[in-house]
């Protein structure tokens, strides 16, 4: 044999390099897009309000000259893109893409606000509020899927929580309503677990059945009963409570520390679930069941019990999230008022790579898109409101299809376990 086996190999283009180039191309195109679409219409300054009248600490407004900002953003984008394209820096691919998208969003904001004023604080606060049901839905998904059960029924569980919260809340008060929403969520979780664990029904179908059942039942009761007895659909709402001092931090204070019970609850649950799943014995066992139930079984771990437990817990989280719709915002139940938030929650779970904190982060992205859409409708940008209303869903598709790439679900996710 003549050649030395250790010599450098033929130069071959690798998959990662290709992806890096592709990303570079996309970034350059985005730069063009920003220049062509946002550039011409940007006159004057965009004013971002960092404080509201009456705040303890008042910051001045952030005034951004629109046109220069947009061109600077576009050149940054082009620079990132060209760098990716030419150097194909593998490690930088995701980071560049993330930065690039953030730049596009900023440019869009500046363009939309040009010649106008816009409250950043309010926007962030609204983002948080809108992220709550999505985050809780995603968290419910994380709890179930980490133990190997796909929970399509989160939408139905949210709806059941919202309905129960409104009904019981109207009769015995907010706390009672909240508690029963959690219990009802848990009950549906338990039913799902029974269907898929004990009776080995297909997990997707079982979830769909629960969704349809809850939708039908709540719609019926709300149109037939609530319309007659309005008193049954008039629950008290949990008001927001400002954390002393922390709530006065400019810009992010109101977002994190001047909210109602549900926001604090969601943040606490995310922290708790992270600790539980990744730092406790029970969490380790749950994840083992989701990855390789047979291995867990050979070690004397009761796969069925763990699945029951976690799907029920997931249901309780979703029930809590559902109560947000009624007890946390309007105090009244409307037909199908969750409007697909449960499914977006599932998307947040995937985008967040089956991690509680990831799901929260993804929920914030969706919440941001949602609240942006609302604010922009007020600013009157000329973009039809229908398109703006679509934006959270488009964000869902782009994020799940493009950005996440191949996130890996728990290996036994969605598969029934049959003991020998």
Residues near another protein (CB under 8 A)? 1, 3, 5-6, 9-10, 12-17, 279-285, 287-288, 291-292, 294-301, 408, 411, 420
Angle, vertex CA 76, rays to CA 71 and CA 82, nearest 5: 125
The minimum distance between CB 141 and another protein, in angstroms, equals 18
**Angle between helix 385-398 and 356-379 (nearest 10):** 160
3-class state of residue 62 by DSSP: strand
Q: Nearest Cα to 47, choosing from 67, 71, 65?
A: 65
The minimum distance between CB 283 and another protein, in angstroms, equals 8
CA distance 15 to 108: 32
CA distance 102 to 347: 20
Query: Is 388:369 a contact under the CB 8 Å cutoff?
Result: no
3-class state of residue 400 by DSSP: helix
Exposed/middle/buried for residue 360 (C-beta within 10 Å: 0-12, 13-18, 19+): buried
CA atoms within a 13 Å half-sphere pointing along the CA-CB vector of 355: 11
Q: Which tokens is 330 given?
A: 């309007």
Residues in the chain: 420
* Residue 156: C-alpha distances to residues 45, 193, 211, 334 (Å): 46, 15, 4, 14
| Phi, psi (rounded to 5 degrees) for 376 | -65, -35
Q: Nearest Cα to 185, choosing from 308, 323, 282?
A: 323
Q: Edge-to-edge strand order for the sheet containing 62-65?
A: 62-65, 45-49, 116-119
- β-strands 258-259, 241-242 pairing: antiparallel
Query: Is 136:269 a contact under the CB 8 Å cutoff?
Result: yes
Query: Is 416:196 a contact under the CB 8 Å cutoff?
Result: yes
3-class state of residue 175 by DSSP: helix
Q: Which residues pair with 242 in a beta bridge?
A: 258
Q: Which tokens is 18 given?
A: 């290709």
Comparing CB distances to another protein, the nearer of 4 and 228 is: 4
Q: Which tokens is 195 given?
A: 């269907």
């Amino acid at each position: 044999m003549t050649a030395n086996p250790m010599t450098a190999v033929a130069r071959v283009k690798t998959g990662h390099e290709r992806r890096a180039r592709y990303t570079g191309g996309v970034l350059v195109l985005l730069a063009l897009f920003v220049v062509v679409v946002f550039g011409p219409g940007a006159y004057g300054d965009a004013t971002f309000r960092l404080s509201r009248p009456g705040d303890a600490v008042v910051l001045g407004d952030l005034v951004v000259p629109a046109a220069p900002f947009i061109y600077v953003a576009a050149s940054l984008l082009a620079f990132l893109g060209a760098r990716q394209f030419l150097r194909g820096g593998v490690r930088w691919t995701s980071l560049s893409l993330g930065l690039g998208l953030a730049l596009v969003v900023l440019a869009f904001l500046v363009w939309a606000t040009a010649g106008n004023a816009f409250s950043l604080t309010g926007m962030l606060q609204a983002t948080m509020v809108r992220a709550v049901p999505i985050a809780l839905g995603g968290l419910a998904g994380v709890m179930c899927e980490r133990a190997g059960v796909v929970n399509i029924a989160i939408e139905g569980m949210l709806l059941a929580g919202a309905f129960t919260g409104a009904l019981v809340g109207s009769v015995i008060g907010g706390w009672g309503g909240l508690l029963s929403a959690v219990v009802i969520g848990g009950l549906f979780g338990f039913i799902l677990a029974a269907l898929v664990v004990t009776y080995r029904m297909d997990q997707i179908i079982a979830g769909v059945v629960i969704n349809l059942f809850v939708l039908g039942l709540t719609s019926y009761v709300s149109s037939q009963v609530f319309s007659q007895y309005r008193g049954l659909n008039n629950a008290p709402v949990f008001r927001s409570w400002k954390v002393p001092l922390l709530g006065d931090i400019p810009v992010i204070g109101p977002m994190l520390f001047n909210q109602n019970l549900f926001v604090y609850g969601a943040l606490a649950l995310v922290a708790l679930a992270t600790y539980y799943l990744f730092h406790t014995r029970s969490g380790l066992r749950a994840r083992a069941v989701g990855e390789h139930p047979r291995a867990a079984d050979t070690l004397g771990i009761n796969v069925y019990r763990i699945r029951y437990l976690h799907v029920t817990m997931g249901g309780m989280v979703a029930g809590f999230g559902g109560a947000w719709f009624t007890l946390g915002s309007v105090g009244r139940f409307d037909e199908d008022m969750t409007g697909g938030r449960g499914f977006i929650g599932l998307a947040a779970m995937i985008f967040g790579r089956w991690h509680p904190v990831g799901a929260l982060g993804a929920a914030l992205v969706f919440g941001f898109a949602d609240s942006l859409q609302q604010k922009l409708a007020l600013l009157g940008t000329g973009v039809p409101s229908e398109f703006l209303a679509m934006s959270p869903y488009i964000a869902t598709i782009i994020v799940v299809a493009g950005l996440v790439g191949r996130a890996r679900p728990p290996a036994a996710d969605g598969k029934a376990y049959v003991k020998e």
